[in-house]
Structure formats: structure tokens, C-alpha cells
Structure 1
Amino acid sequence: MGVSAASILNRLLYSGTHKPQTQPTSAKALTNTLFTHLKAGRLQKAISILFAAPIPVSYSLYARLFQICASNRAIVEARKVESHLVTFSPTPPVFLLNRAIEAYGKCGCLVDARELFEEMPQRDGGSWNAMITAYAQGGFPEKALLMFSDMNRSGVYASEVTFASVLGSCGAVLALCLSRQVHGLIVKYGFCGNVILESSLVDVYGKCQVINDAQRMFNEIKNPTAVSWNVIVRRYLEMGDGKQAVFMFFQMFPAAVRPFNFTFSNALIACSSICALKEGMQIHGVAIKMGLEDDEVVSSPLIDMYIKCGKLENARGVFEQLGSKDLVSWTSIVSGYATSGKTREARELFDQMPERNVISWNAMLAGYTRSLQLEEALDFVFLMRNTTKDIDHVTLGLILNVCAGLSDVEVGKQVHGFIYRNGFFSNLVVGNALLDMYGKCGNLRSARVWFYEISQWRDIVSWNALLTSYARHGMSEQAMTIFSEMPWETRPSKFTFGTLLAACANTFSLEHGKQIHGFMIRNGYEMDIVIRGALVDMYSKCRCLEYALTVFKEAASRDVILWNSIIFACCHNQRGGVILELFGLMEEEGIKADHVTFQGILHACIYEGLVELGTWYFNSMSNEYCVMPRLEHYECMIELYNRYGHIDELEKFVKRMPFEPTVPMLTKVFDACRIHGHLRLGEWAAEQLNKLNPSMPLIFQIMDGER
């Protein structure tokens, strides 16, 4: 047989340069020497002695040496063992060459493995399996599947181990059709009862997002192992079905299967995704009973679950009870406080951390940014730059958000320079954050230049960021020009149309709004509730109430937000009677009114002069609809009484308010009393205003001078 190039080279090196010292003279002595070194963990020394020995050892020892080389990823030693083997056994048994292929595969030398495989004069199923496994475990699933195809054409039957590797490769490349064919072969060859293969099928179907097939396959497993259960829980979690993931986790216990620690982790992550506090607390209890409360794999997702479910103190309790707090748990609790807006407590914990990484720094910075503590965020950025060199794309995105919030384009430009110098310019997250920063800072020229610089990798987010920048600054003409270029590169999204319609509404650009509406209809976009709300708002502000009503009526379903949009559309056009009719229809559809709805209704009463009805609606807010009146509702009632001269009702209303009237409220009361000649209330309003602004005292005087 031929031998691998590596083997030939090793033998040439051995023949030409190696001068052996005193070596064991018998196979038995050589074997004993090798075992002595192997037991002491001196693999390199053992293989050097073997390589220099002029006699062979037993096939079982060669096999053992290949296995040890594989487990230690010792590629040089594996090559030496093969070289020694083929020197003294020109036609070694197939099983030994299979062990050599396995060793090369485990060491990541797939070229050597394939070369040896191709040179073998005879192969068996183990040879094919070794090569397929080497490709599968080495990160080359496509080659593993091609090798499996060649194996089938050669008429060699696959074993359970082969099928396991093939299914793993199918899952890696999401080859659903091939997975089904492999499933058929597994049934054909009689491997249906193999729980490893059945679990692998559950896994591959889940990865290919045919979760119903994964569940059916799971149900066919007679005795699912902990691995099987973990797979199905994990796949439901990855599919975004947290509820079913949690359900499957709890089904393990009637089946008397003990979950792995990472199965607990997956179940807790699922609870976090659906805010299932009750189930999360039950899992916490089970983890304590099983002695896993200090397990790092369980504790961090447990902390995160309590945080996501709004139970920060519970999360802190878990954290404090940990025997040893690792970096992940420290970062989780800091992030929890930071994202909950408790940045002071988060910073205290952050300062106590024994070690930090870039994720820890980002968590604290994100907390400042989300809480709009932008000055503190900027100070923290300077501290970070002076303390650590660890900065990633998330850090840069957050810093750019801070610059945008502060409208500090100069610091933003410095960050831009850092991005170029450190090779982050091709990161799309950073690129879009930079584009957004320039837009929010009003530097539209730089935004446009950067937009064209990233033309090779920009996406829909980039287009939307630029459109939003122009729309925010009232430049609807330029926004429409950009929009006209957009379809050549990417398909506009719902967010794109929402931005454009808002721009048209704010600039009263009816023609542009109609063009956008027509574009959506012609190109088959779904008119969902969000888009219909934007269209209603645009048409109403452009004084086309009939169009707004048509868009509203065509909606397949209407939520309270869409109802509020049409009610305020009528407010913009002072159609109070229509508002009251719409409110009646809203109640008929069973939509519960909120504080925004009642603000529109009170405006309708103002337009129509319905003082008594307005009073009834205001009182019924809390009595009938369980909606607590807000400042804007009190302002509406003052305007209603003021406009129609109901000064006595106005006096009772203002003096019974559960809070002190604001300056605008008092000013309206003061003006109303001057107009309608109400001395007592007018003097009271003047007195209250003088208390709030003593530097410019008011003297009440009736407008017509009669009193």
C-alpha cells in the first residue's frame, strides 16, 4: 500500500538524521518502557522512544497510542506513530489506519486524514465513518455530507455513529431535505430504537425550524434521555416559543429524568423571554432542591430571569447568596440595575467588581444612555478609555448614541476618527450608529457623505436612518428624493413608510403623502394598524379628513391606538360631532377607552359647546371607565368652562382639583374672570399667580370696568 506524504517525510528524517541511543531490544521491554512513560503523562518521550526503536509493537498498542494522540491533539506524535507502523507493517490492518484517520481528524489535520483515506487499498465502514466524523467535527459539514454521498454510492452501509455525524452536519447547514432522506435510511436499516439517533433527528428538525416534526420525533422516543429533553427544550427556545419550552421542561419530572444544568439555564431563559415569573420561581425552587443554586450555568440566567420579570430585589438576593460570584453573575446584576434605571446602585456594584470585561463596561454605559443621563455617560466613556483598551462595536454604538443625545458632533467626529483608525468602519452596527449621530446632530452633509461611503454594505437600517434625519429637520423634499432611490437597492420597510408619512404630516405635504400611499398599494404592502395610524395622522393634518376616515374604515382590525388616531384626526379638523359618534362605535366594538381617547372626547365637547356632557365624561372617566384624569384633562375642562362662561362651575372645579393649578391654568381662569366679570374668582386667581411669580404682581380688573 502507499503511505501518506507525512509518513514518508518522517521516515526520511528518521533514516537520515536520527542517531538512536540505547533502546529496548525486545518488544516486551519496549512496551513496558512506553507504558511507564504514558502512565507518567510523558507522551512526547514515549513516542520519541517508539520512533527510534528498530522493532514493532503490538497492533493493540499502536491503536492505544493513536487514541492517546487524538485525545491530546498531538499531531506530531500521531504522525510518528503512523510512520513507525507502516515501516514495520507495510500492509497494516484497516482498523489501525482507521484509528490514524481518527487521530488526524481530532488534531484538526483533515488533509492528512483525507490523504491517508485515499491511499488505503482497502476500506471498511469504519474508514468512511472516521473520515465523515473528522469532517463533521472539524467544521466542514458540506464535505462530511459529500463523503456520506460517496459512501452510499460505494455500497457501504452506514453505522449508527455515521448517521449521528451526518445528522449533525445536516443541522449545521440546515439541509432539511437531506435530513428527511437520512431519516428514511435510519428506518430502513433498523436503527429506529437508537435514542442517540432519534435525539439527533429531533435536533436537526428543530434547527431547520420544522418544530412540529421535531416534536413528533420526540414523541416517538420510548425512553427520552436528559439529552433528548434538553434538545427539545432548546429548540423551542430558539424558535421563540418560550411557553412551550417551559412546558417541556416541566414534563421532564413526571418522566423521572434529571435535567442537566444547561437545561435549567434554557428553561430560565425561556421564562425571561415571556416574563413567566411564577414558572421561573418554581424552576428556582427545583434548582435549590437539586443543589444547583450555586452552579454558574444556572445562577446567571436565574438572576436575569428575575430582572426581566421586574423582580430586581429577588435577583439581588440570588446574587448575594452565591458562594463564588463569577464575572458573568457580576455583569448580570450590574446590567439589571442599569437597565432598570437604577444607575446609582448599578455604579456601586460596578465599582465593586473584582474584574471587568467589555460587556461589563457596556452594561453600565447602556444604563446611563437609556436613562438619558448623558453627561454621566460621557464621563463614564472617558473613564473607560483611561482604564481599559477593551472597546467593541457595541461600545462605539453607545458612545455615538450619547453624542447624538447631546448633539455633540465634535466628540462624534473624534469617535469617527477612532472607528477608522481601529478598523471598525466596516461594522454595519457602528456605521448605522454613526449615520444616526450625524443626522440627530443636524450635520446632514456629513450624514449623506458617510451614507455613500458605506454603500458596499449598508442595509435598510442605513436608509431609514438617513430618511429619518431629513424628515426630522422638515426636509420632506430631500427625504422623498432619497426614498425614490431606495427601491433600486433595498425594499422599503414599514418603518420607512412610517417615517415618511410622519414627515409629510409635519410639513403638510399632502401630495407626497398620497404618493407614498399609492406606492404602498401598487407594491402590495400590508396596511397594518401602525401604517393605517400613520396614514390617518397624515391625511388629518393635511386637512383631508374624508381620506383619513376611509383609511380607518378599511382596517380589518382596529385597536385603541388606531381609534385614538381617528379621534384626534377629527380634533385637528374640529369635527366634534363626528368624534362623539366614533366613540359610540368604539364602545360597540368593545374597545376600552384610555386617557388619550378621553382627551379627544373633551376636545369634542369644547368644539360643540357641550358643557354638561363634557362634565359627565370627565366624571365618568374614573367612575365608569377606570381611567384616572391627567393634567391635560383638567386643562380641557378649564377651557370648556372658560369658553362658554360657566364661571361658577369653573370656580368649583378649580378649587376641588387634587393638585395645585399650574400657571397656564391660573392664567386662563384669570382671563375668563376679566371677560365675564367674576370678581371673587378673578382675585383668587391673581393672588395665586402672584405667589408663583412675585416679581410681576397682577391686579385683578374687570375688563368692562363695571365692577
Structure 2
Amino acid sequence: MGVSAASVLNRLLHSRTTHKPKSLPTNAQALANSVTDELNAGHLRKAVSVLFNSPVPFPFSLYARLFQVCAANKAIVEARKVESHLVSFSESPPIFLLNRAIETYGRCGCLADARELFDEMPHRDGGSWNAMITAYVQGGCAEKALGVFLDMNRLGVSASEITFASVLGSCAVVLAIFLCRQLHGLIVKCGLSGNVILESSLVDVYGKCQVMSDARRMFDEIKNPNAISWNVIVRRYLDMGQEREAVFMFFEMIRVNGKPLCFTVSNSLIACSRISAVKEGTQIHGLTIKTNFEEDEVVSSSLIYMYVKCGNLENARRIFDLPRSKNLINWTSIVSGYAMNGRTQEARELFNEMPERNVISWNAMLAGYTHFFQWEEALDFVFLMRKESKGIDHVTVGLILNLCAGLSDVELGKQVHGFIYRHGFYANLFVGNALLDMYGKCGSLRSARVWFYQMSHLRDRVSWNALLTSYARHGLSEEAMTIFWEMQAETTPSKFTFGTLLAACANIFALEPGRQIHGFMIRYGYEMDVVIRGALVDMYCKCRCLEYALKVFKEAASRDLVLWNSIILGCCHNRRGEDILELVELMEEEGVKPDHITFQGILLSCISSVRVELGRQYFDSMSAKYCIIPRLEHYECMIELYGRYGFMYELEDFIKTMPFEPTVQMLTRIFDACREHRHFKLGEWAADQLNKTNPSVPFHFEFLDKGRLECSGD
């Protein structure tokens, strides 16, 4: 600023002294008492007015109290007047009072005033530097706070514990890990390594800088960690996505008789919810009951959230029904829990009972409808939301676009597109990607492409994947491959991208592009997880390159059931039935239990390799050994197996024991098998059943010349 606030106020002060109000007392002690009385009455402005219009110095203790009250009330005008009076009527104001003034300016958010006073101080002590650093920290100017500390250190001014704590907080804000390490060394050098506050601050900074190994090492060096220390290490593990370590440290704290804060309990419960550790979460719940934490609003909300995420809605509801638990956050959590677990009717009943709602509450209910494809209910709910609530955010818009995609209603989607432009949501990347996905799922690829180009200033990897998936979903696999090559000029593909591309290559039997994608992933070090390996196996099998598929399968570090099913069905596709039976034996040796898809592959292999008896054994073992109820496709396989190879009496017995009536497709196959193998009794029965189903096209058996039996369908 061109003219300092102090000089302007000094001039005003001196000009006012010649026109002093007659009602003011002239005795200095009486004036001080008057200021004190006004402060005691809570009249800060009147107290400062008496001070400002009095041309006499006041006791330093009174200035200190005035600065304190100004800071508490963030009264910047009064603070400036107090500082102006102090420097005007005191030849050499004590440093501690100027430090209080700097602190007051910082609390009021006037960092320029604080820095101006700091720079004009003829003498400073450690408190002055600390006050300026603290002001910058409180004002969100972490880099400037670090700059002041570096100047302080350069001038050889010793830092106090408070200074170090403030500077460490700034390091955490700007993620200055190298400066943090230097501060760590300086703290040890100054003999402050036993200070639990500084040590906890170091744990916090290392954690925020994502160096959890150093954070944990620092924590382990704390001789007597307090509640804040434990809370910091649990929270930092949680923020880093190391939920198991967060839960472990919480129970470690309990083991050493540490007393948790409510926030520590809350963080540990959130960690349990993310990893579905309902057992550990229940144990923490028991602890909250013993320590009376269950009634804390933060803890009860975290308990409900944990049980909801773990699918234990009964326990969540039990906590929700406790006195003082029914706040807006908990209402929304319990509604979301019921909605996202498919119990949308119960969720809606709870939603209707809510005394108040916000946009998150509406979104929670709408998300439940869209997640379980209840499109009509979701559409009615959107109309209700627009009628009763004015609040709508980007999540709401994204859910409505999902609804449009589910209904395949591109016209409604275009109306939402217009709403997005009118209300300024077009600059939101989440909304933009949802709009792109909607156009793709509705088959409006031209609109998708146009919007994709309009998103050029903000689109990301998700945008490219959405466009690429839209083309692949509609059978335009070659166009999807072209988009992939264009994508690389702007962003790096993800594993999801490769999964979509490999599926596209499998659809058009494009072996060479599929091999190029495989090589691209190896070349650039992409993780070959079980999902990608499954896509590779599927692509190579469909492209008649079973050797490559088997090689990818064998190189997998771990093989789940989906990967096993992919290779088994791939062998079926390539008519390698004998290989399937070997794979099934190996699968059982590795302890992977088959499912209905596995048995479909096994039965198909028995058909291709003429293993009728083995097929019957596997079919019987489904329910007897693996507790899998055979499905329609398994019965179709057995009918095909018996019918193709002429096991007509076995087929007849199999039909009699089926738990349902044969479908038209099954009856047709039985009829054809009887015609081929001249089995009159079963063939006549099949023809009779088919005629009941469709009498307009009769099926019948008749004897022709030379005693030959003929089966026909007219």
C-alpha cells in the first residue's frame, strides 16, 4: 500500500486531539477504567473509541487485552486503531505488544497489515517471527510462511517449538518433503526430539507427503504417543489407502491402553468400511459402547456408514434408531444403504419419512433406482425431485443421464443436454463423460462424436474409453481400433481400454491387431491382471490361436474361476475336447471350484469327444458333489449328447426325470434324433408334444414303402 495505515491513523488522531469531546474524563486512570468497563460490558467499539480519542498512553496490559478481544471478534478496524494509538503514544512500544498486533492482524485475515508492521519493527524477537509465520499459516499462505522461516533461520534467530510446529504444518500443505527432512534434523539438533507435539507433526507431514515408511518410523520413535499421535498415524494410513494398516494401528493403540479420540474411532471405522472388515468394525463398535463413544455424532455416523458399506443393514438400522442418531447425514446413509442393496421400496419409505432432505439425499435414492435398472421408478422420482427440490448438482445430472441411457431415450437425453448448457454443467468433466456415455449407449454415435470433439478442452482418459466402448458395443470394432490409435496422441490408455479393445478384436476375429495390443501392453509395462489375461485368452481363442491363449493362461500368477472358464470355453470353440478334461483335472488340483459355466464347457467337450458316459457322470456330479443346480443349457447339452450318438433309451429316461417340461428347441432336437436313429416311441411322443405347441406345422411319423420308417415335419 502507498500510505501506511499507521501514518493515516496517526494524522487523524492528532487532528482530533484539538477537538476533544468535553464529556471525556481527563484523568488517565479514569480513562483506562472507562475502557475496561466498556470491554467488560462487551462494547468493543465504544472501548476503542474512548481509547482512540484519548491523547494519553494507557497501561500495556490494557493494549494486550484490546488486541486479544479484537482478534477474537475479527475486528480489523478496531485493531488498527489500537495499534495506531499504541505506536503514537509510546516512544518504544514493547515487542510483545507489537507481536500481539501481528497476531491480531493474522487472525483478522489482514496479512498485508501484519507484514507491514513486521517489516517496520526496529527490533524483533523469536515471538515476532513466530507471530508472522503463524499469521501466514492461518491465512493459507504456506509458501510465504516457509519464506519467513528461511529468513529467520538465515539471520540466526532460534526457533521455538511453536515455530517448528507452524512451519511443519506449512510443509504439509505444500508437500515440501525435502524441507521437512531438514527441519527434522534441525529439531534433533536443537534437542527437541522428545517433544511429542513436534514428533506427531513430523508423522503428519511425512504422511501427507506420502512417505508412510518415514511416517511410521517417526511414530515408532515416539516414546509416549498421545491421543493426537495415534489419530495422526491412523488418519495418514487411511488417506494413503492402506486401510488394513490403519485398522491395525487402531487396535495396537487399544492394546497399549491408549485412549482414542472420537475422530480416531471414526477413521478406523471408515477404514473397515472400505475393506469390508465387518468383524473388526463390530469389535470397534463394542469398544464405542464401553467408552460411551456411541452417542457421539461423528462416531455414530461412521458406524452406520461402516455397516451400510459392509451390507449389514440390520445393525446400521439399530444404531440409526438410537436417540439423537437421526440427523441428516445418518438419514441419507441409511437410505443409501437400503437403496444400493436392492431394497429400494424400504429405502423409499425411509426417504419419505425424512424431516429434511438435501441434494445428497435425493441422489442416494435416485442412485438406488438406476443401479438396479428400475428405470420407470427412477423417471418418476426425477419428476418428483424437480417438483419438490430446487437443488441439483453434477451427480444428479450424471444419474439422470444414466437413466436416459437405460431407457435408450436419446430425445430425453438431448433435453438433459440442453439443461446442462443452461445451468453451466457443461464444464464439469463428470457430466461431460456421462453425456458421452449416454449418447453411445443410445446408439447415437454421431452425437457422441460431436460432443467428444466439443470436450477437447477438458476430456480425459475416461472420455476416450467411453467413445471407444460405444463403437465397440455397436459392432464397429474397426472404428474402435482407429480411435485407440488416435487416443495415444492425447492420453495414455488404461487397462479398461485394453479390455474393450481385446473384446472388439475377438468380435471381428482380428488376430493381428489383437497381437499388437498384447505387444503394446508388454512393451509399456502394463499390469497383466486376471481380467486382462481373460480378455487375451478370449481373443486368442476366438481368433483360432489356441497356442497363444494357452501360453497367456499358463503365465498367469493366479488364476480365478473366470480365467479358467475362458480357457475351457476357448478349447470348446477350437474343438479341443480332450484338453478341456485335462484342464478340469488341473483346476480341481488347484482348489478352484467349477460353476455352471465350467460344466457347460465340460459337457460341450464330452459332445465333441464322444464321451457319453463321462458326460453323464459330470452332469450327475453337479448337484451331488458341487451343489450346483443344472440350468437349461446343461439339459440341452445332455439331450444333444444322448441324441447325437444314438443313446435313445438313456435319452428317454433322461427326459422323464427332467424337473420341467422340455422346450420347443429340446423337443425339436429329440425329434431329429429319433428320425436319425429310428426310435419310434420317443419320436412319436416328441411329435405329439410339438403339435400341441404349434398345431399349424404338424410333426408325424409314418411307414413308407419297403418297411422303412420315415419321420417328417410338414
Q: Is the 8 A contact 2:690 2:699 kept in 1?
A: no
Q: AA paired with 2:4?
A: A
Q: AA paired with 1:251?
A: E
Equivalent residues in 2 for 1:265-414, closer than 5 Å? 265-414=266-415
Indicate yes or no: 2:36 matched with 1:35: yes
Q: Is the 8 A contact 2:75 2:108 kept in 1?
A: yes
Cα RMSD, aligned residues only: 2.5
Corresponding residue number in structure 2 for 1:569: 570
Q: Is the 8 A contact 1:679 1:702 kept in 2?
A: no
| CA-CA distance at 1:627 after TM superposition | 4.3
- Pair 1:356–1:615, CA change in 2 (3 A): same
Describe the SS at the equivalent of 1:282. Answer: helix
Q: Is the 8 A contact 1:611 1:640 kept in 2?
A: yes
Indicate yes or no: 2:648 matched with 1:642: no
Corresponding residue number in structure 1 for 2:418: 417
| CA-CA distance at 1:689 after TM superposition | 6.1
Describe the SS at the equivalent of 1:425. Answer: helix
Corresponding residue number in structure 2 for 1:450: 451
Corresponding residue number in structure 1 for 2:595: 594
Indicate yes or no: 2:163 matched with 1:148: no
| CA-CA distance at 1:358 after TM superposition | 0.9
Q: Is the 8 A contact 1:268 1:301 kept in 2?
A: yes
Distance in 2 between residues matched to 1:61 and 1:503, nearest whole Å? 80
What are the superposed Cα offsets for residues 376-397 of structure 1, whole Å, 9 maximum, x if unpaired?
Answer: 1122112111222211111111
| CA-CA distance at 1:43 after TM superposition | 1.9
Equivalent residues in 2 for 1:500-519, closer than 5 Å? 500-519=501-520
What are the superposed Cα offsets for residues 549-572 of structure 1, whole Å, 9 maximum, x if unpaired?
Answer: 333334444333222212111111
- Pair 1:89–1:658, CA change in 2 (3 A): farther
Q: What is the identity percentage for the equivalent residue pairs of Structure 1 and Structure 2?
A: 70
Q: AA paired with 1:8?
A: S
Q: Is the 8 A contact 1:63 1:96 kept in 2?
A: yes
- Pair 1:67–1:682, CA change in 2 (3 A): farther
- Pair 1:151–1:485, CA change in 2 (3 A): same
Distance in 1 between residues matched to 2:15 and 2:245, nearest whole Å? 67
Indicate yes or no: 2:109 matched with 1:108: yes
Q: Is the 8 A contact 2:95 2:125 kept in 1?
A: yes
- Pair 1:59–1:440, CA change in 2 (3 A): same
Corresponding residue number in structure 2 for 1:498: 499
Describe the SS at the equivalent of 2:224. Answer: coil
Q: AA paired with 2:166?
A: S
Q: Larger deviation: 181-190 or 68-77?
A: 68-77
Q: Is the 8 A contact 1:673 1:702 kept in 2?
A: no
Q: AA paired with 2:172?
A: G
- Pair 1:131–1:645, CA change in 2 (3 A): same
Q: Larger deviation: 628-637 or 80-89?
A: 628-637
Describe the SS at the equivalent of 2:38. Answer: helix
| CA-CA distance at 1:462 after TM superposition | 0.7
Q: Is the 8 A contact 2:319 2:325 kept in 1?
A: no
| CA-CA distance at 1:237 after TM superposition | 1.3
| CA-CA distance at 1:91 after TM superposition | 2.5
What are the superposed Cα offsets for residues 390-432 of structure 1, whole Å, 9 maximum, x if unpaired?
Answer: 1111111111111111111111111111111222111111111
Corresponding residue number in structure 2 for 1:528: 529
Q: Is the 8 A contact 1:3 1:86 kept in 2?
A: no
Distance in 1 between residues matched to 2:26 and 2:685, nearest whole Å? 118
Corresponding residue number in structure 2 for 1:7: 6
Corresponding residue number in structure 2 for 1:559: 560
Corresponding residue number in structure 2 for 1:547: 548
Distance in 2 between residues matched to 1:657 and 1:143, nearest whole Å? 80
Q: Is the 8 A contact 2:675 2:710 kept in 1?
A: no
Distance in 2 between residues matched to 1:83 and 1:387, nearest whole Å? 55
Distance in 1 between residues matched to 2:243 and 2:543, nearest whole Å? 44
Distance in 2 between residues matched to 1:654 and 1:31, nearest whole Å? 108
What are the superposed Cα offsets for residues 505-562 of structure 1, whole Å, 9 maximum, x if unpaired?
Answer: 1122233323323333444434333222212211221222233233333444433322
Distance in 2 between residues matched to 1:420 and 1:30, nearest whole Å? 64
Distance in 1 between residues matched to 2:308 and 2:125, nearest whole Å? 56
Corresponding residue number in structure 1 for 2:466: 465
Q: AA paired with 2:398?
A: G
- Pair 1:238–1:576, CA change in 2 (3 A): same
Q: Is the 8 A contact 2:472 2:500 kept in 1?
A: yes
- Pair 1:23–1:650, CA change in 2 (3 A): farther
Corresponding residue number in structure 2 for 1:187: 188
Distance in 1 between residues matched to 2:463 and 2:495, nearest whole Å? 14
Distance in 1 between residues matched to 2:503 and 2:513, nearest whole Å? 11
| CA-CA distance at 1:90 after TM superposition | 4.0
Q: Larger deviation: 420-429 or 623-632?
A: 623-632
| CA-CA distance at 1:103 after TM superposition | 0.7
Q: AA paired with 2:9?
A: N
What are the superposed Cα offsets for residues 211-267 of structure 1, whole Å, 9 maximum, x if unpaired?
Answer: 222222222222221111111111121122222222222233343333222221111
Distance in 1 between residues matched to 2:176 and 2:695, nearest whole Å? 79
| CA-CA distance at 1:457 after TM superposition | 1.5
Distance in 2 between residues matched to 1:241 and 1:688, nearest whole Å? 62
Corresponding residue number in structure 2 for 1:119: 120
What are the superposed Cα offsets for residues 140-178 of structure 1, whole Å, 9 maximum, x if unpaired?
Answer: 111111211111101111100011011111111222221
| CA-CA distance at 1:470 after TM superposition | 1.0
Q: Is the 8 A contact 2:133 2:163 kept in 1?
A: yes
Corresponding residue number in structure 2 for 1:253: 254
Distance in 2 between residues matched to 1:645 and 1:77, nearest whole Å? 104
| CA-CA distance at 1:670 after TM superposition | 4.5
| CA-CA distance at 1:332 after TM superposition | 0.6
Distance in 1 between residues matched to 2:699 and 2:376, nearest whole Å? 44
- Pair 1:484–1:263, CA change in 2 (3 A): same
What are the superposed Cα offsets for residues 295-334 of structure 1, whole Å, 9 maximum, x if unpaired?
Answer: 2211111111111222111111111123351110110111
| CA-CA distance at 1:100 after TM superposition | 0.8
Normalization by structure 2: what TM-score?
0.93
Q: Larger deviation: 421-430 or 251-260?
A: 251-260
Describe the SS at the equivalent of 1:253. Answer: helix
Describe the SS at the equivalent of 1:48. Answer: helix
| CA-CA distance at 1:350 after TM superposition | 0.8
| CA-CA distance at 1:655 after TM superposition | 3.1
Q: AA paired with 2:535?
A: A
Q: AA paired with 2:5?
A: A
Corresponding residue number in structure 2 for 1:157: 158
Q: Is the 8 A contact 1:559 1:591 kept in 2?
A: yes
What are the superposed Cα offsets for residues 38-85 of structure 1, whole Å, 9 maximum, x if unpaired?
Answer: 223222222222222222221112112112211222212211111111
Q: Is the 8 A contact 1:647 1:678 kept in 2?
A: yes
| CA-CA distance at 1:189 after TM superposition | 0.6
What are the superposed Cα offsets for residues 431-455 of structure 1, whole Å, 9 maximum, x if unpaired?
Answer: 1111111111111111111111111
| CA-CA distance at 1:677 after TM superposition | 4.5
- Pair 1:306–1:556, CA change in 2 (3 A): closer
Normalization by structure 1: what TM-score?
0.94
Q: Is the 8 A contact 1:306 1:312 kept in 2?
A: yes
Q: AA paired with 2:377?
A: E
Describe the SS at the equivalent of 1:642. Answer: helix
